Amino acid sequence: MFVPLHDGSTALIRPIAPEDAAALRRFHWTLSEDTIRNRFMSAKPNLTSGDTRYLCRVDGVDHVAVVAVDPQRPEAILGVARWVRYPDAPHRAEAAFVVTDRMQGTGVGSALAIALADLALERGITELTGSMLADNLGSENLFRRMAGGDVAVKRMGITNDVTAVLPQRPGRLAAMAARRRMRPGVRTETHRRRHAWRHAVAA
């Protein structure tokens, strides 16, 4: 599905495929250390072939993943999101996201989040959870987006466990694609806020 972004460009949101392994490795090289640390909670300069096999060969039932790509350069991944169902709680799954630094703040993460929520509802999942560093407001906001409002946040030392209860509203990505209008300037403002936030954390 094609989704308009805040900077005036468009992203194609589609399921990940085994053929995406090389593109995913290249995408990983575009990520800053901060972004990798927020996604994996550790340093990870490269994806191994075992990583890409796990990340790209999903079963579409208990492990679902979507990518955002640039329609002009479909080999260029802009962001990836996934959920993995908990075996002992099949109505719940753990979700994770990552967007290339250059495109953060343009709405790619929100589009991926809504796509994940749609796919979760279709597969009987009603709650998506995520574990993130406590200062990761961007990620917490994505869970709010999936919930369509408040989320439960449980502090676990330097990390937060966040739970979004999904509203029973299927087809939200299609509605977003049809409804959203370009918001010029949002990207610049969000980037400014993001850098201000990073400086505050570093201080």
Residue number, 92 or 194, with CB nearest to ligand COA: 194
Least distance between ligand COA and beta carbon 105 (Å): 5
Structure tokens at 163: 């739970």
Residue number, 18 or 148, with CB nearest to ligand COA: 148
Residue number, 98 or 125, with CB nearest to ligand COA: 98
Least distance between ligand COA and beta carbon 96 (Å): 4
DSSP state of 42: S
Closest CA to 80 of 145, 142, 134: 142
DSSP state of 18: G
Least distance between ligand COA and beta carbon 106 (Å): 5
Residue number, 18 or 84, with CB nearest to ligand COA: 84
Report which residue's Cβ sits closest to ligand COA.
109
Using the structure block, give the residue that is written with the tokens 């029973």.
168
Least distance between ligand COA and beta carbon 60 (Å): 21
Question: How far are the Cα atoms of 4, 14, 21, 178 from residue 175, in angstroms, in the given order?
Answer: 12, 16, 30, 5
- Pairing of the two strands 89-99 and 73-86: antiparallel
Contact footprint for ligand COA (CB under 6 A) = 35, 38-39, 96-99, 104-110, 130, 132, 136-139, 141-142, 190, 194, 197
Residues 69, 75, 76: CA angle, nearest 5 degrees: 50
